[in-house]
Amino acid sequence: MTARRHDPGRRQRIIDAAIRVAARDGLAGLSHRTVAAEADVPLGSTTYHFATLDELLVAALCQANEGFARVLDDSGALTAPGTDLAAGLARVLGQWLGGDRPGAELEYELYLAALRRPALRPVAARWAEETAARLAARVDAVTARALVALMDGICLQVLLTGGAYDEEYAREALGRVIGHGPGRRTGDPGAGAPGT
């Protein structure tokens, strides 16, 4: 087979291959060699585009992070004032965890790899900041950060225990952080406002 001189999609294929390898074999199975084999490219291509394994992991985490953001944006939960934000976010978590469970597991595996790989920490931090910024369209900044932390915790519990996702529990917990009690909806006047 003749080598392609111009292959603009090769970098993306390498990232996609890295995600498949990590999903199948875990991060321990990820190397330039295994990714090159999965992507069906020469080993030199992976090291050309990603000089270190950390660079490849950063690219994979950036792409994996787009999964939850896409589900959140597509849900309309943040763009429909007057709707129950807690219920909307609980529904989003259910869609994300139920839609592509292996993808969700991989996203958190890459996310938690930042504990040992400092190169990943800025990507993990950026994901939290960008998600909080999205939520700040509906709540104040402090509440938005608390919601991110709670959603992370709920997802981790489900993924680590292998348990079923409980949407009603998530709605109740998120509602408490937002600050509305029983019978009050997120869109009600004053719901989630400081001092309520």
Asked if residue 86 and residue 40 are part of one domain, the reply reads: no
Residue 5: its pLDDT value, please? 53
Asked if residue 14 and residue 94 are part of one domain, the reply reads: no
> Residue 28 and residue 103: Cα distance in Å, rounded?
17
Residue 68 maps to a domain: yes
> Residue 175 and residue 86: Cα distance in Å, rounded?
5
- Does 1 have pLDDT greater than 60? no
Asked if residue 150 and residue 71 are part of one domain, the reply reads: yes
Average pLDDT over residues 180-184: 43
AA identity, residue 158: V
Residue 44: which domain range? 7-51
pLDDT tens track for 79-96: 877 789 999 999 999 988
152 phi/psi in degrees, rounded to 5: -60, -45
Total number of domains constituting the chain: 2
Residue 165: its pLDDT value, please? 93
What does pLDDT average to over the chain?
84
Asked if residue 160 and residue 70 are part of one domain, the reply reads: yes
Asked if residue 120 and residue 26 are part of one domain, the reply reads: no
Q: Which one of 54-58, 110-114, 121-125, 171-175 scores highest in mean pLDDT?
A: 171-175
Which is more confident, 122 or 1? Answer: 122
> Residue 68 and residue 4: Cα distance in Å, rounded?
34
pLDDT tens track for 21-44: 988 888 888 999 999 999 999 999
Asked if residue 163 and residue 86 are part of one domain, the reply reads: yes
Residue 107 maps to a domain: yes
Residue 188 maps to a domain: no
